[in-house]
Amino acid sequence: MIKKIVPFIILVSICLAFEATAQNQPVVVDSITGNKTKLNLLFQYKKASGEAVEVLQIGDSHIQPGGMTEPLAYLLQKEFGDGGYGLAFPFQAAKTNGHSAYQTFTNMPWTTAKIINDKPALPIGISGYTISNASVESTITWEFDSLVPGNEVQWVKIFHASLLDSNFHYQLQSAQGEIAQKIKSLSNAHQSVFYFNKPTYVFELKHEQYYEKQKSSTIYGVYVTNGNRGARVSSIGVNGATYHHYSQNILFRNQLEMLRPDLVIISLGTNEAFQSNFDDTLFFDEVLNLVQMIQSMESKPLVMLTTPPAVSIRKSSGKKSYFAPNPTVPAIREVILDVGKRLEIPVYDLYSAMGGANSMKDWSQLGMTDKKQIHFSPKGYRILGESMSHAIQMHLPNNTTSK
C-alpha cells in the first residue's frame, strides 16, 4: 500500500514555480477548477446514505500501471470504507505492464487485442484490452498482496464473450482449494459472478467445456471485491490511448455501465500531443464525445477531467539533440479546461500542478521521469496521484482543510 504523503502546499487556482525540497521532492499545487458543487454533493450523499462509492479513472500509459490511482483509493477507502480492489485485468497474460498490487500468471500464451488497434482482432470491452485462448486447459492465476488490508477477494465478476455462442464456461478455485460458487441470479451470457465463502488473496481461473461448439475463452475484464460496502477505485489505462479510442467503442461503454460508476475521472491527452496533425476543434469534439458518452450511463456518473502532464519532446540543433516542452500540450490543456467550463464539470489541472511548461525538465533532474521525459518514475506518479487525491480530499464531508 502506498503510504499517504501530505502534499507540501495547498493553493487553489494559483500556479507556483517548481522548486525542490531538502528531500529532492517537487512541490505541486493541488487545484480543481470548474464546477465543484456536484463533487461536494456526491460525497455528502454517499457519506449520509452509507452506499458504496464506485470510482473509475480512465487514461493512457500514465494510468495503466495503477500507481497514480492508488493514493485516491487510499483516501476514499479511508473515508467511506474499503470495498475491495475493483478492476483487476490480467495484464501479464496480455504481455503488458500492470499493477503492483497484484500479479497474474498463465500456463500458456493468449491472443491479445487493445483499444488502440485500428482493426482489433477481438472486440474490446471494459479494460481496454481483450485476451483470448482456444485451449480449455488454459488457466490464469491472480495473486494479490496479502500485506495490503482490503485486498482479499470474495466476489469475482468476469466480463467475457457470450456463453450462448462459442465461449467456454468458467470455474474459480482459491489457493485453499475452495471452488467458488457461481451466482446464477447475478450472471448472464456475458458476465459470470462468483462467490468465495472464505476470502482469498490467490485464486485460479479455469475453463469448462459443456458443449462441442464451445471453442475458446475471450475475457474483457475481471472485477473483484472483498464483500464489504465501501469505496472501490479502479483504473483503466491503455498505453497509447486517446479520447477518440475510448469514445468510439460501444462495448467498452456498455460494460463500464454495468459497474454503475459514481465518479469517472478521465486522464488523457498526452498521446494527442504527439500527433503531427493535431486540430484543437477536432480534439474539442473528441473530449466532448467521451464525456457525454459516460454521462449517458444509467448511473449518471459525475465526470471529472484532468489536464495532461507537461511532457517533453525531442528536438535537434545541428548534431545535438535536446528535450524541450511539447508545444501542443498547452493547447490540449486549454481545450480540456474549456470543455470543463462549458459542461460545468470539475477539472484537475495536472499540468499546472506539476509546475507548468518547463517543469518536466526539473522533474527529470530529480530522477522522476524516464529518459524521454514523457513518463514518470513510480515515485513521480505517486506524488502526482497524491496531489490529485488531496485536491479531491478538500471536497470530502469530513475534511477540515479550507476549501
Dihedral pair phi/psi, residue 54, rounded to 5°: -110, 115
Residue 15 belongs to some domain of the structure = no
Write the single-letter amino acid at 324: A
CA distances from 44 to 223, 230, 254, 402 (A): 26, 14, 28, 16
Query: The domain that contains 138 carries what CATH number?
Result: 2.60.120.1360
pLDDT for residue 10:
31
Q: pLDDT digit string (tens) for 322-347?
A: 889 999 999 999 999 999 999 999 99
Write the single-letter amino acid at 379: K
Q: pLDDT digit string (tens) for 239-250?
A: 999 999 999 999
Which residue, of 225, 246, 279, is where some domain finishes?
A: 225
Torsion of CA 145, 266, 131, 233, to 10 degrees: 30
Give CA–CA dist 170/186, Å, rounded.
15
CA distances from 315 to 3, 102, 376 (A): 38, 38, 20
- Provide the terminal-to-terminal Cα distance of the chain, rounded to the nearest Å: 27
pLDDT for residue 14:
31
pLDDT for residue 149:
82
Same-domain check for residues 386 and 300? yes
Q: pLDDT digit string (tens) for 50-106?
A: 999 999 999 999 999 999 999 999 999 999 999 999 999 999 999 999 999 999 999
Considering the chain, what is the average pLDDT of its residues? Answer: 91
* Burial profile 281-305: b = 16 or more Cβ within 10 angstroms, e = fewer: eebbebbbebbebbeebeeebbbbb
pLDDT for residue 264:
98
Same-domain check for residues 311 and 189? no
Query: The domain that contains 261 carries what CATH number?
Result: 3.40.50.1110
* Domain limits for position 78: 32-83+230-393
pLDDT for residue 321:
84
Tell me which residues of the chain have a pLDDT lower than 70. Answer: 1-30, 400-403
Helices vs strands, H then E, count in the chain: 9, 19
Question: What would the 3-class secondary structure string for 96-153 be?
Answer: CCCCCCEEEEECCCCEEEECCCCCCCCCCCCCCEEEEECCCCCCEEEEECCCCCCCCE
The structure's pTM equals 0.91
Residue 3 belongs to some domain of the structure = no
Look-up of cell digits 449518471: 300
3-state class of 41 per DSSP?
helix
Same-domain check for residues 103 and 181? yes
Same-domain check for residues 220 and 248? no
pLDDT for residue 27:
55
